[in-house]
C-alpha cells in the first residue's frame, strides 16, 4: 500500500512539473511546429541532393576492401620499421668513429641526425616498402587460398585491385606531402649536422661568380665566403639597349641576415659611374644599403642543396634562374619532377606486386619476393641512371624523372595480362 502512495506522489510531482513547464514555455510549441513544417518543405524541395550520396567514396569500399586495406597498411609500416631499423644499425656502426672523432653530442645525434634521417630514408624508398608490403601480404593470402576463394565468389582480378589502389592513393599523397613540404626542413638540419660532425667537406666559398640578377643587370664577385655571407671585389653593371649605363664597384659586399628583405646587401667602399651619352657622373661612399636581386644560395652550390628546398621554393628558384639565363638548374629540375614521379611509382609497383604474388606457388612467397626485390632495385637504379643522364648529358629533366615510371608501366601491363583471372 505504501508503495502505491509513493508512486502516486511521484507521478503527481512529475505532472505538476510538466504543467509548469508547459505554462512557461508553451509559446515555443507553435514556433517548433512552424520550424518542422519549414524543414519538411526544404527536405521536399532539396530531395535532388540525395544524388550526392553516390559521390561518397566510402559507399564503394566494402568489407573485403577494408580487410585488404588494413592488412596492406599494417605490412607497409612493418616493412618500414624493419628495414629502417636495419639501416640505422648499419649507419650508426659505420659513422660511430666519426661521431667520436668530432665529439658529436648524443642529443644532436638523436634529434638532429637520426630524427631527420628516418623520414628522409623512409620516403626515399617508399615505393620499395609499398612493393615489399604488397608481395608479403598478397603471397600470404594466396598461400592460404584466400585469393582463390575471393575470385571463386565472383570477384574479378580487376575488382581485387581496388583496395590496393585506394591504399596507394593515401600513401602516395602522404609521400608527396612529406617530400614536398616537410622533409626539406629536416634535411637542412641533417646536412648541417653532417657538415659539422660527419664529413666537414661542405663547399662554403666561390670564386669569380658572374650571374644575371635582373633583366640587363650583371653581377660579378671575385671571392665569396658563405660562412660570413661576405663577398670581395664586387661589381654590378646595368645595360639598356645593349649599352652600359651604370657601373658599380665595391671592395666588400655583406648579406644582411636580419633584414626583412631577402635581397638586402651592404656595400663597403663603393663607387658608381653613371653613363649618359658622352657624360659620366661618379659618386662614391664608405657604406651603402641596397637591394640586389640575388641570395647566398645563388652564389655557392653545395651537394644536395636542391633537397633542402620545398617544392614551391624549388619552382620559384628554377623560374628565377632560368629568367637570369643560368644553365645550372638541371639538378633542381630533376629533383622537382622526381618528387611528383616518385609518388606515382607506388601504383605501378603495386600492380606488378599483386600480379606476381596472387598466384599460389609451391615455393611460397620466396620466388615472388625475389623477383619483386630485383624489380624494385632495378627501378631505383634506373632512377639514378636517368638523373645522371639529365645532369651530365643534357637529357630532358622531366623525361628523366618519368622514364622509370614509363618503362615499368609496360612491365606492369605485361604482369597484369599474365595475372590469374
Q: Three-state secondary structure along the chain? A: CHHHHHHHHHHHHHHHHHHHHHHHHCCHHHHHHHHHHHHHHHHHHCHHHHHHHHHCHHHHCCHHHHHHHHHHHHHHHHHHHHHHHHHHHHHHHHHHHHHHHCCCCHHHHHHHHHHHHHHHHHHHCHHHHHHHHHHHHHHHHHHCCHHHHHHHCCCCHHHHHHHHHHHHHHHHHHHHHHHHHHHHHHHHHHHHHHHHHCCCCCCCEEEEEEEEEECCEEEEEEEEECCCCEEEEEEEEEEECCEEEEEEEEEEEEECCCCCCCCEEEEEEEEEEEEECCEEEEEEEEEEEEECCCCHHHHCCCCCHHHHCCHHHHHHHHHHHHHHCCCCCHHHHHHHHHHHHHHHHHHHHHHHHHHHHCCCCCCCCHHHHHHHHHHHHHHHHHHHHHHHHHHHCCCCHHHHHHHHHHHHHHHHHHHHHHCCC
Cα dihedral: 319, 321, 326, 328 (round 10): -90
Burial class (CB in 10 A: 0-12, 13-18, 19+), 215: exposed
- Looking at the fold, whether 154 and 217 belong to one and the same domain comes out as no
> Which residue, 300, 325, 341, sits at the end of a domain?
300
183 and 270 share one domain: no
Burial class (CB in 10 A: 0-12, 13-18, 19+), 38: exposed
Q: Is residue 6 part of a domain?
A: no
| Beta strands in 215-242, from DSSP E residues, in sequence order | 217-225, 230-240
Q: Specify whether the CB–CB gap between 334 and 390 falls below 8 A.
A: yes
Kindly state whether residue 1 falls inside one of the protein's structural domains: no
State which residues form the domain around 19.
Answer: 11-55
Q: What is the pLDDT of residue 203?
A: 66
Secondary structure (3-state) at 112: helix
Same domain, 78 and 130: yes
Return the closest-CA partner of residue 208 out of 222, 197, 194. 222
Together in a domain, 82 and 43? no
Residue 320 placed within a domain: yes
pLDDT tens for the chain, residues 1 to 421: 555 556 666 667 766 676 666 666 666 667 767 777 776 766 666 665 565 565 666 667 788 888 889 989 998 998 899 889 999 999 999 888 888 888 888 898 899 999 999 999 888 888 888 888 888 888 888 888 888 888 888 888 888 898 999 999 999 999 999 999 999 999 989 988 888 887 766 667 788 888 888 888 888 898 888 888 888 999 988 888 878 888 888 999 998 888 777 788 899 988 998 888 778 888 888 888 888 888 887 777 777 788 888 999 888 888 887 777 666 788 888 889 999 998 888 899 899 888 888 877 766 666 777 777 788 788 888 888 888 877 777 788 888 889 989 999 998 888 888 877 6
Report residue 249 CA to chain centroid gap: 42
Q: Which cell numbers hold the place of 116?
A: 631527420
Number of domains within the chain: 3
283: cell is 659618386
**Is 398 within the bounds of a domain?**
yes
Does 116 lie in the same domain as 72? yes
- pTM for this predicted structure: 0.75
Q: Provide the grid cell at 251.
A: 671592395
Q: Kindly state the cell numbers that stand for 231.
A: 663577398
29 and 70 both lie in a single domain: no
Same domain for 255 and 307: no
In a domain, 408, yes or no: yes
Same-domain check for residues 345 and 390:
yes
Give yes or no for a contact between 187 and 116, defined as CB atoms under 8 angstroms apart: yes
Structural domain includes residue 249: yes
- Determine, yes or no, domain membership for 284: yes
The reply to whether 3 falls in a domain is no
Is 257 in the same domain as 334? no
Which of 300, 325, 346 is a domain's end point?
300
> What is the distance between the alpha carbons of residues 178 and 185, in angstroms, rounded to a whole number?
10
98 with 143, same domain: the answer is: yes
Same domain, 321 and 212: no
Domain end (from 300, 324, 352): 300
Residues 129 and 161 in one domain: yes
Amino acid at each position: 500500500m505504501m508503495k502505491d502512495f509513493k508512486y502516486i506522489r511521484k507521478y503527481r510531482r512529475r505532472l505538476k512539473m510538466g504543467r509548469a513547464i508547459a505554462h512557461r514555455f508553451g509559446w515555443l510549441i507553435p514556433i517548433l511546429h512552424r520550424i518542422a513544417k519549414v524543414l519538411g518543405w526544404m527536405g521536399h524541395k532539396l530531395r535532388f541532393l540525395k544524388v550526392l550520396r553516390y559521390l561518397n567514396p566510402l559507399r564503394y569500399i566494402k568489407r573485403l576492401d577494408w580487410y585488404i586495406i588494413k592488412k596492406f597498411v599494417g605490412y607497409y609500416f612493418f616493412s618500414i620499421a624493419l628495414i629502417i631499423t636495419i639501416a640505422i644499425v648499419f649507419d650508426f656502426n659505420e659513422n660511430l668513429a666519426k661521431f667520436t672523432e668530432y665529439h658529436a653530442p648524443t642529443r644532436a645525434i638523436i634529434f638532429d641526425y637520426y630524427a631527420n634521417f628516418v623520414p628522409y630514408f623512409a620516403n626515399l624508398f617508399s615505393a620499395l616498402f609499398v612493393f615489399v608490403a604488397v608481395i608479403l601480404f598478397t603471397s600470404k593470402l594466396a598461400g592460404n587460398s584466400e585469393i582463390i576463394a575471393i575470385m571463386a565468389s565472383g570477384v574479378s582480378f580487376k575488382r581485387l585491385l581496388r583496395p590496393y589502389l585506394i591504399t596507394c592513393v593515401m600513401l602516395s599523397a602522404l609521400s608527396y606531402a612529406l617530400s614536398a613540404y616537410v622533409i626539406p626542413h629536416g634535411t637542412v638540419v641533417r646536412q648541417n649536422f653532417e657538415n659539422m660532425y660527419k664529413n666537414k667537406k661542405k663547399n662554403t666559398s666561390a670564386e669569380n661568380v658572374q650571374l644575371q640578377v635582373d633583366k640587363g643587370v650583371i653581377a660579378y664577385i671575385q671571392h665569396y665566403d658563405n660562412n660570413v655571407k661576405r663577398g670581395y671585389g664586387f661589381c654590378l653593371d646595368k645595360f639598356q639597349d645593349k649599352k652600359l649605363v651604370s657601373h658599380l664597384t665595391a671592395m666588400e659586399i655583406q648579406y644582411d641576415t636580419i633584414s626583412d628583405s631577402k635581397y638586402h646587401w651592404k656595400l663597403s667602399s663603393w663607387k658608381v659611374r653613371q653613363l649618359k651619352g658622352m657624360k659620366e657622373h661618379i659618386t662614391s661612399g664608405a657604406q651603402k644599403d641596397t637591394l640586389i636581386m640575388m641570395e647566398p644560395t645563388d652564389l655557392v652550390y653545395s651537394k644536395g642543396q636542391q633537397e633542402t628546398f620545398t617544392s614551391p621554393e624549388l619552382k620559384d628558384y628554377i623560374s628565377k634562374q632560368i629568367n637570369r639565363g643560368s644553365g645550372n638548374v638541371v639538378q633542381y629540375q630533376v629533383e622537382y619532377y622526381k618528387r611528383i614521379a616518385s609518388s606515382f611509382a607506388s601504383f605501378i609497383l603495386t600492380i606488378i606486386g599483386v600480379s606476381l604474388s596472387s598466384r599460389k606457388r609451391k615455393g611460397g612467397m620466396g620466388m615472388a619476393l625475389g623477383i619483386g626485390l630485383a624489380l624494385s632495385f632495378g627501378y631505383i637504379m634506373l632512377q639514378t641512371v636517368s638523373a645522371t643522364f639529365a645532369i651530365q648529358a643534357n637529357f630532358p629533366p622531366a623525361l628523366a624523372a618519368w622514364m622509370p615510371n614509363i618503362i615499368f608501366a609496360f612491365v606492369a601491363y605485361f604482369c597484369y595480362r599474365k595475372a590469374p583471372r
